[in-house]
Amino acid sequence: MKEIARRRFLKQVSLLPMISPAIMIENVSKNNNGIISNTGWVRRARRNIPATKDLFFQTAGIGPSPKSVMKEVANYLELQNRGPVNPEVYDIIGQIESDLRKKLADTFGAEEDEVTLTHSTSEGINIASWAINWEKGDEVLITNQEHPANTIPWYSLSERFGIKIKRLNFNSDVDIVAQIEKSITNKVKMVSIPHVSRNNGRALTLDESKIIASLLKPKNIRYHLDGAQGPLCVPLNFHELECDYYSTCGHKWILGPKGTGAFFCRKSMLDSTWLTWTGSHSHTTMDQYGNFELIPAARRFEFGTRALATFAGFNEAIKWNESIGINKILKRIDSLVFYAIEEWTSRGYKVASPTSEDKRSGILVVTLPKGVNGWEIYDHLRLNKSAFTSPVDSPNDLRIALHFFNTKDEIRRVFDFIERFSN
Ligand SMILES: Cc1ncc(COP(=O)(O)O)c(C=O)c1O
């Protein structure tokens, strides 16, 4: 019955993407530098992403969604409001969350029971930060390259419970593993660091992550990765990273709807992870006398009425990427980053983000010509050139996020703008 109703719905609203991504997969060619050129599949994908009419280098802030994602959200919202309590509608709508958990698990190396659906990375970071009962003097290790989302929750815990925050150096060329090793004491209860820094673009390598996990586990120190910039920017396999918790979102590199996220909790950590925010839907049973049982899966961290149509769009975004090919996307991103590094340095300037293949990511951070301020050039590009980049902490740097839909021509154009501006 559920399946029939679902199929009828899909047929009715013709949920297929406007341009089938399967048709887009064609014509991949490599030039002499091994750089995938702007071929048919990229051009066609761009046509499906309205924001690419501008020079869009801000995926690390907010990713631009393809039309099929927007359409999916609109269709499900319309369906839901045909009668939210009508079983025909409810049966379809009721599938959205489990389908999405499964999709996230299958795509990013987790089990379905390890996935919590959230509305942002920040929500996941908060779940992790409240995982234990903090005591005065306990320590958390973060880095000097954090987003406020992986800083403010720790400040708040520090104010309330007197925990200490220690900042490790995650600059491009610094050994993060050695620093963690050096900082471990019996006061350290959690390590919460970026999978990819939004600020200097450094990606934690798989090897680094595995070693960090092996250092922390015997000491019973929790290991959380802030993965806002992870999936579809760099390869992501939650189990392979060996962290306990991983927080991410759908609205950056996955190009999903804004207000979508996921928190991964390693199965073995579930019962030792406290819930702070909870409510209806976190439980299997309860009574009026204080007894309750939590769902034996990470979805116990979910509660209340949620944005289901938006989650359907999140699932569609993952499928859209998959139908192009996630490895193909990641390969093209790295090729563009490699190209941009060569192009910028050949003009006599420096790149602030890591340049080695294992540590670089889709987040390219360039050091601007002498005297050019990141905020100033960001405003100039945004207001006069329809080019969207981002300032970062260092005032002389600029972040240029390179997704697969960007092109070498766009990269050259933005570099030309910067050079002209500085002269
Ligand atoms: C590294 C990092 N962490 C967390 C966040 C916050 O993400 P969200 O808006 O999904 O909470 C961002 C957003 O840019 C980020 O770059």
Measured CA to CA in angstroms, residue 88 lies from 25, 95, 198, 391, 394 at distances of 36, 12, 43, 48, 54
* 206-214 mean pLDDT: 98
Q: Tell me the CA–centroid distance for residue 228 and ligand 1, in Å.
A: 5
Mutating to test ligand 1, I would choose from 59, 119, 145, 229 the residue with most ligand atoms within 8 A of its C-beta, which is 229
**pLDDT tens sequence across 237-267:** 999 999 999 999 999 999 999 999 999 999 9
- What pLDDT, on the 0 to 100 scale, is given for residue 385? 83
200 Cβ partners below 8 Å, 6+ apart?
145, 170, 171, 172, 352, 353, 354, 363, 365, 392
* Measured distance CA(192)–CA(223) in Å, rounded: 6
- List for the chain the helix, strand, coil content (%; round to 5): 45, 15, 40
Rounded average pLDDT over 293-313: 97
Ligand 1 proximity of 199 Cβ (cutoff 6 Å): no
Distance 122 CA to ligand 1 centre (A): 6
Does the pTM exceed 0.75?
A: yes
- What average pLDDT score do residues 202-219 get? 98
3-class secondary-structure state, position 105: helix
CATH of 92-320 given 3.50.50.60, 3.90.1150.10, 3.40.190.10, 3.40.640.10: 3.40.640.10
Spatial distance between the Cα atoms of 64 and 258, rounded to a whole number of angstroms: 9
Structure tokens at 19: 């341009």
What pairs with residue 364 in β-bridges? Answer: 400
- Given a cut of 60, is residue 321 above it in pLDDT? yes
For residue 173, give the amino acid letter.
Answer: D
Ligand 1 pocket check for 298: Cβ under 6 Å = no
Residue 86 burial (CB count, 10 A): 11
- Strand duo 245-249 + 261-265: pairing: antiparallel
| Residues 234 and 196: beta-carbon distance below 8 Å | yes
* Mean per-residue pLDDT, 111-126: 98
* pLDDT tens digits, 380-397: 999 988 899 999 999 999
Residue from 58, 59, 122 whose mutation best tests the ligand 1 pocket (most atoms within 8 A of CB) = 122
Element (H, E) at 398: strand 397-401
* Per-residue pLDDT at 203: 98
Structure-token pair, residue 92: 């379809």
Question: Domain map of the chain by residue range?
Answer: 92-320, 326-422
> Does the structure show a pLDDT above 50 at 13?
no
Q: Distance (Å, rounded) from C-alpha 225 to C-alpha 241?
A: 9
Q: At what angle do helices 152-161 and 121-129 cross, to 10 degrees?
A: 30
Pick from 269, 169, 163: nearest CA to 216: 269
Class (C level, CATH) for 326-422: alpha beta
- Tell me whether domains 92-320 and 326-422 share a fold: no
pLDDT of residue 423: 81
Per the prediction, the chain carries an average pLDDT of: 92
Q: What is the pLDDT of residue 39?
A: 82
- How long is the chain? 423
Exposure letters 331-357 (e unless 16+ CB within 10 A, then b): bbbbbbbbbbbeebeeeebebbbbbee
Closest Cα to atom 12 of ligand 1: 228
